[in-house]
Homo-oligomer: A and B are copies of this chain.
C-alpha cells in the first residue's frame, strides 16, 4: 500500500522532503500543510526585498524559471499536495494521526500518517519590553510582515528606525533601511559586540565600523528598556537603558524560538533551546517522526554541543536526507560547523567553527592569529585588503574556527569555505600552512592569506611571534605609558609622532639592523607596521639581539584603520 506521509511546514525543508520523496516514490501519498497562505519562499531574502534589491515579492517564491511556487505549481509540476492555512495542533502518536485546524473556517480534522515530518520552523522572539505590542513594532517573520514593513516605509511614514538585536537579520535589516530608504537607523545590541553568536570581537569591531561608516548608528552593550507610543499613534520612540530616543519603527530581531509546542505536548524530546532532539538520520525520539530545519537541535561538530542554526541551507540539505531515510535509504546528517556569511554594505564577512569566547566556553584553550593581506596578488590592480582570524587549540593545534572580512565578498567566502568543511575532521595548524587552494594573480597571492594565517598562528604557537590584538594594544596605549616602534616609512609615521611625541618611535625596517641599538631594552616596545609582516620580522630580529619586552601589534595599520579609524590622525575628522 502507498505510504502516507504528512509534512508539517511548507517553507524550506517541507517542500524539499516532499519533492525528493515524490521522485523516489511515485506512489506515496504526500501531503504538506502550512499555517500560512504563502509557501515555499526564500525567507532569507526578506531584507533584500525590503532594501529594494528585489523589487517584486513574488520573486521570493518563484523558481529560477519564474514559475510561482504555489500549491497549483506543486500539484502540476511536482505531483505534491500542499494545503495552506492549515495548522497542526496535536500529534496522536499511538494512533499515528495529526490533528489539524483549517485556519480559514476554524474546523478541525485528523490526518493519518505512516511517517510524519516536522518542518515547522521557528518564530521570532518578541522580547518582553513594555510597548512591544504597539503598532509599527515588527518582526521579520514572514512575507506578510515583510510586505507590511516595506509599505510603511514606501509610504514615507518612517524617518527613524530602531533595530533590536545585531544578529544577521538585525544587520541586514539595518542595511536595508539605511541604504535604500535613507531611514536614520540605530542598531541596538545587548552584547558587547555585533553578531555575538557568530564572530569574535576583533572582526566584529570591523563590522561595527563598516556599519557606522554607512550611517547605521551602532549601540552595543545597550538594551531597549521600553518602547514609547500609543495604540493609535503607534511607536514614537524607545528608551535605551532609560534614555529616550525618537523613532517611527521598531524592528525586533532578537532571535527565534522553534515552533515545537505541539511536538513537545506529544512527548517528543526537545533540548534546552526548545528545539527537537534528532538522531543522525534526523529522526525524533519517535522513529516514525522526522524533523529538520529551524525546529531541531544539531550537533556542533567542533564543540560537540547541541545548537540550533536557523539557516535555509541546512534545512534544504536536511530535507533530502529525510526523504532518503523515509524511502528506506539510510542517509545521515552529522551536524554543523556553523558556517555563516553576511554582506555588510560593500563588504563581506564569513565565519565557521567557534569564536575565541565559544572555544573557551567549550573547554578549549584557544590561540588565535589575525592576519591582514591582499586578497589577490598585491601587484594585481583589483587587490583589496582582507582580514582573517584563525583559532586553534593550544594542546592539540587543531583548528577551532576561522573568521574573515573583506571588500570582495566572494573572496572572503572562498577562504572560509576552504576551511569550514575540514573543521571537526582533525585539521591542524600545519595543514592550513599548506592548504591547497587555487592560485593565479587575479585570485590570490602566491602565499595566500589563508596559508599565511596558518604560518602566523604556527609562529605564535612556537613562541616566535608574541602578538597583541589591536583592541588590547589600544587599551594599553591609552592606559599605560608604553612606546610604539613604527617600522614604516617616516612619512607614514610622521602624523603619529606629531600627535604622540616620543611615545611613537620610527625606524624603517630597512634601517633597523643599523639602528637597533638606539632602542630601549628596559621598556615595553610595541611594534607596528603596515600589515604585521615587517613588525613580526623585526620582532624576531630584536629578540635575536636580546630584546625581551617586544610585542607585535597584529595586523598593523591595516587593522588599525578598520578597528579604530579615530586613532589615525589623517583619517580623523
Chain A interface residues toward B at CB < 8 A: 12, 16, 19, 23-24, 26, 42, 44-45, 48, 53-54, 59-60, 62-65, 67, 73, 76-79, 168, 311-317, 320-321, 331-334, 336-337, 339-343, 348, 350, 352, 373-374, 377-381, 408-411, 413-418, 420-422, 425, 430-431, 433-444, 446-448, 451, 455, 464, 488-489, 509-511, 513-514, 529-531, 533-534, 537, 540-541, 544
Contact = CB atoms under 8 A, between A and B. Distances in A.
Given A408-B410, A438-B420, A446 B339 contact: no
Contacts of A439: 44, 311-313, 339, 341
Contact of A333 (B54, B434, B488): B434
Contacts of A420: 418, 436-438
B442 A409 contact: yes
Number of identical monomers bound together in the oligomeric complex: 2
19 contacts: A19-B537, A24-B464, A44-B446, A48-B442, A62-B379, A64-B374, A65-B534, A168-B440, A313-B439, A315-B446, A320-B433, A339-B439, A343-B443, A350-B438, A352-B436, A410-B413, A410-B414, A416-B438, A421-B435
B464 A437 contact: no
A545 to B, nearest CB: 8
Contacts of A23: 464, 537, 540
A487 to B, nearest CB: 10
Contacts of A313: 436, 439, 444, 446-448
B48 A441 contact: yes
A76 B515 CA distance: 11
A169 B171 CA distance: 43
Contacts of A42: 377, 379, 441, 446
Contact of A413 (B26, B320, B414, B541): B414
A332 B529 CA distance: 31
Given A42-B379, A65-B530, A331 B414 contact: no
